[in-house]
Structure 1
């Protein structure tokens, strides 16, 4: 495995949330485990073996977005435990790594809410993902340790968590080419019509992010967009929109938080 998180520890990794040492409370643990149980029970009920799973790690409503971070939820056989494979940023740095962990851990990272989004691939893509996900060396072909929260989707200078998910999906979905690296995945995504989400950020926000946060960079964005404050990046919403537009049999459903 690439890495393993302890069940009762809050790790020094993040996917866009605050990077702080936070005591794990019984209420947080209960919410995370309850959400994991609801998610895996619904996957079992529907006979799903692999999917993209989105969580609400922070409030992005001012950008018209709900889900902030995605990973792959899967199990290698009906008797195997459920796992998450996703990319996380090392706190206080511009580096990232790939992590395998339990579904409960996926919902421990200071959630804004405990809603979950599930994007289910068509059979051919599901089989391709199940062949890739247990193989760390294959997953790393689409991984870049240089991290930026707002990485531009058509540049290989940085990568964020959702970019890695999208590029891995491209490699598993492509039927007309074999995609072995990020450059090839991005070329395929551009040809296939992928459109990132666009967020309008003021000058102060952009300069503040670059000066005070190691995990935020804007210098991979085209100048004409960056100087206008139009920041385009991969979001869970843009992944969902792209996959559903392809008419290949992808399905989407939400698992709401319990009141």
Structure 2
């Protein structure tokens, strides 16, 4: 039981784990919701869609609170790109997910309602939108819709805690980072995308964990450490792409980007535009 708990905690360390963006909600996990919860999630998605539709944006970075990472001071675990059209429904999300049954990463286009339903907690959830200015949004939309390019940046080997500057593995947020690089700099390979990201100052904040948590992570099949610098691991640090690092990089590069945070909770839907983070529990 202790080992199982440790492994689950290590999974949380890893930026969203296997369920990120996927129809299967992670390996060997079920997630049943009530009709009332489903109704609230649909209303939540509708509120976000309304803001997106009124924004005039051509593309937005969208992140959700999937796996609970609060023990590491993190709210968001999984990111994708949402577009007004071209992905099957208005403001659907293109993202990477790990197909547990196949043991391989896949690209998945998901409607907004399905995307916001991917949280561990059906009663309280958070979504962050980063509306990009036209000079960033237009090429990102084109790159996202270029299926050949998007698939070309998809690595065959998945690791939820993939190191951002190694071609060995990839996680869901790293695919988004490399897609941004491809859209902005014209990169067509993962190596070129990572080199551009490093040159441009992309530097995800390391997540720190205790030694037992690091050890437990080695028993989880979708966590890997062979791509990480030994000195970081010795210091109990794992550097991996997370939504917060994607947003920080994009906002530094495009100061005109507009961030809007949403949450749903016991008192309905709240939102905040370019302000302080919404309160935990989504209680005003």
- TM-score band, normalised by shorter chain: 0.7 to 0.9
Match of 1:109 in 2: 118
Any stretches of 5+ residues in structure 1 without a counterpart? 1-9
2:222 corresponds, among 215, 226, 229, to 215
Match of 2:205 in 1: 197
CA distance in 1, matches of 2:74, 2:160: 15
1:239 corresponds, among 235, 246, 249, to 246
Asked whether 1:31 is paired with 2:43, we answer no
How far residue 93 of structure 1 moved from its aligned partner, in angstroms, is 6.5
Any stretches of 5+ residues in structure 2 without a counterpart? 1-21, 268-284
Asked whether 1:186 is paired with 2:198, we answer no
Deviations 1:59-81 (A, max 9, x none): 2222221111111111237x962
The normalised TM-score by structure 1 is 0.86
- RMSD (CA atoms): 2.1
8 Å Cα contact 1:147-1:158 kept in structure 2? yes
Helix, strand or coil for the counterpart of 1:98? strand
Match of 1:3 in 2: none
CA distance in 2, matches of 1:28, 1:144: 35
Deviations 1:97-133 (A, max 9, x none): 1101111111222443322100112212211122222
Matches within 5 A, 1:54-203: 54-76=63-85, 81-91=90-100, 94-112=103-121, 113-174=124-185, 178-203=186-211
Match of 2:280 in 1: none
Does the C-alpha gap of structure 1 residues 93 and 250 become closer, same or farther in structure 2, counting only changes over 3 Å?
same
Does the C-alpha gap of structure 1 residues 97 and 13 become closer, same or farther in structure 2, counting only changes over 3 Å?
farther
CA distance in 2, matches of 1:146, 1:234: 16
CA distance in 2, matches of 1:150, 1:121: 26
Match of 1:257 in 2: 264
CA distance in 2, matches of 1:94, 1:215: 9
Deviations 1:219-238 (A, max 9, x none): 11001111221111111111
244-253 or 63-72: which moved more? 244-253
Match of 1:11 in 2: 23
8 Å Cα contact 1:33-1:104 kept in structure 2? yes
How far residue 19 of structure 1 moved from its aligned partner, in angstroms, is 4.4
The normalised TM-score by structure 2 is 0.79
Deviations 1:7-47 (A, max 9, x none): xxx83254xxx741333432342232122101100111222
Does the C-alpha gap of structure 1 residues 186 and 154 become closer, same or farther in structure 2, counting only changes over 3 Å?
same
8 Å Cα contact 2:142-2:183 kept in structure 1? no
